[in-house]
Amino acid sequence: MGEYLEQNYQDWVPSSSFSYLVLGLLSTLFLDVFFPDQVLIWTAIHSISIIFFSFLFFGKKAPYFSWGVILFFVLAICGYTKRSAPFLEKSASWKKEFSQKINQTLDRAEIQGRVREISLGLVLGDSKGLDKEFKKNAREGGILHLFAASGLHLGILIGCMFAVLKRIPFLGYYIPRILPVLFGLLYLACLGFPISLARAWIFSAWILLQSLFFRKSKPADLLISSAGLVYIWDPVRSFGVSFLLSFGAVSGILLLLPIFQKCFPPISEDKTILTRFIGFWRENLLVSLSAGIGTLPSLIYYFGSYSFGSLGLNLILVPICGILLPLLYFSLILESIYLSLFAQPVWKIVLFLLEILEKTTLYWGESNWNWIHYYRGNTKFFGLGIWFLFLLFLFLWKLLPSKKIENSKLDLSNSANNKSLTNPILKNIWIAGFCICCGFQFLLANSSKWIRLPDVFFGDRFTFFLQEKNRLVLAGKCKYSSKILYKSLGKDPERFCTSSKNLNEIYIEHESCLDWVSECLKRNQNLSLKYGGKEKPKIAGFENWILIPKLVEFHLPDSEQRLIRFEIGKDSLITLANRTKKGEGIILILPRFGIKEDPREWNRFRKQLGIAPGWKFIGSDELPGIPVL
């Protein structure tokens, strides 16, 4: 039994001493971030345990874990953990010069418009230059990683160079393997040493060393070693969001891909056109699925959203980019050395593929095939809990003997003569795995809706936002409000605009608030837009304004309380007293321009003003702040 477990999980368990050293270092880093008071105790324990590890019991690799703990402690004392990567400041100027040269080359090739922006994003690994509409669709479609320097770009670049160089006989064995990695280091420097690309380069350099010495590392050793080297190289930027996404994707591919292969029917080994075609798309589907599951926890935790439709869009566009990127690099090289005549036919193919990428991304987003789900508050941890259960299932599913299944391939080329699934046990195995994998995807997607979040009520000095039973209220002048309030609204239209089934109208008081709710109006064409102003704004595309008097009284969510706005110098105290005779709530004081008002003074004289005891004056700075969503 032990040998069987070791054979099945050998890819998951590190075997090199360096991996255990890194694990010890990273364990102490974790304590330093979350439990800093325990670092000294943890280091002391492992300092003492080295004696027992070395002379009494445990394996030869166990002491390396303790040495890793001590190594981090020494690095922290020396201040090494606070340093950035070398040449990081100079690399900013290198990236700027490289960007200018790429722009000049594109100018020479007369590449303009959105295809130029996409080309720059692909080559420079930067999405800042993309226009707002395309970037939004790319983000929601889960393909923004194509415009971030990552292992995909470096892998294609190094792979293409190796494929060309290995066909040159006089270069021998070593040069075709060393040159692409050195060129990848140059590319890394030209892009300003992005941390995700640095991880990919270290990964490729590690594989290079293996091939040079004819050795092979386990996936766990590759992952742990590359993570440790990234931290040693740049302690400050390591383990940021970009690193976690990159590391999660490659971890999913290396560790989860072999398991997902058991959840899908195997392909016949017959080399027919149909089996080749099905096998190609099957492998791409499994790679995209594995990478997506690997990045899911980081996306949910840091961004609160995950695009389940990204699996389909990646399935289409990643193979296209596998052809597009080498041709784009090649055409830029030809153009940069003034061989425009030879570059022109290549540019035509590149522009055609760029248009496919552009139109597919926009169409996918407009068709709402992104199937994006938002996780807020406790739904984040609920979704992460289901993700953990999914990993646990995959971990146990790996115990399933694979040799019997591999010897019994599913022949999809001739279903009439298909005899590979005559054994009902084998058939039930992959059917059960397929159904369970799909079931977990469904649970992950819908877990964001199973915990009801409270209705929203928050604001700042200039704007407040609340949800009533059938109405969204965005009161005030949004152009003066804080950016965090806008981002909380704009990035999550489903959370704020479709959480109530009875929602039928949106109320705003200034045209600057229109950008905040435009996505809500696009997603729900039945919403009526009511404007509490003097006259309807004339803005193209929004002609169906309903002009109403400016609202003074609002119903607070999840309570019988009300909110009443009181503008000092404009509103009548008699009217306010009549409004507050019944019920309870808060009175929001809107002071005159340049004159401060103290709500405590107003509350002190509340009885004299005729305000009922269930009411309380507050200032705009006392409104609920932006909640952690």
Percent of the chain predicted with pLDDT > 90: 7
Residue 408 binned pLDDT confidence (cut-offs 50, 70, 90): very low
List for the chain the helix, strand, coil content (%; round to 5): 60, 10, 30
Question: What is the structure's pLDDT at 387?
Answer: 92
Residues 6+ apart with CB under 8 A from 125: 147, 148, 149, 150, 153, 191, 194, 197
Percent of the chain predicted with pLDDT > 70: 86
Question: What is the structure's pLDDT at 571?
Answer: 85
Question: What is the structure's pLDDT at 557?
Answer: 75
User: Average pLDDT in the 548-575 region?
Assistant: 86
Q: Reply yes or no on whether the pLDDT at 479 is more than 70.
A: yes
Q: What is the pLDDT of residues 121-165, one digit of tens each?
A: 888 888 888 888 888 888 888 888 888 877 788 888 888 888 888
Compute the distance between CA of residue 129 and CA of residue 141 in angstroms, rounded to an integer. 18
User: Average pLDDT in the 592-606 region?
Assistant: 84
Tell me which of 97-106, 269-278, 290-299 is least confident: 269-278
Residue 472 binned pLDDT confidence (cut-offs 50, 70, 90): confident
- pLDDT, mean over the chain: 81
CA distances from 367 to 358, 522, 524 (A): 14, 12, 14
Better-predicted residue by pLDDT, 427 or 302: 302
Compute the distance between CA of residue 142 and CA of residue 294 in angstroms, rounded to an integer. 13
pTM, entire model: 0.77
Q: Reply yes or no on whether the pLDDT at 626 is more than 70.
A: no
Question: What is the structure's pLDDT at 365?
Answer: 81
Tell me which of 56-65, 254-263, 272-281, 488-497 is least confident: 488-497
- For 172, how many CA atoms within 13 A lie in the half-sphere containing its CB? 5
Q: What is the pLDDT of residues 210-249, one digit of tens each?
A: 888 777 888 888 899 889 999 998 888 888 888 888 889 9
609: which 2 tokens?
């003003």
For Cα atoms 12, 14, 15, give the angle at the middle one, nearest 5 degrees: 135
Residue 4 binned pLDDT confidence (cut-offs 50, 70, 90): low
Q: HEC string of 243-264?
A: HHHHHHHHHHHHHHHHHHHHHC
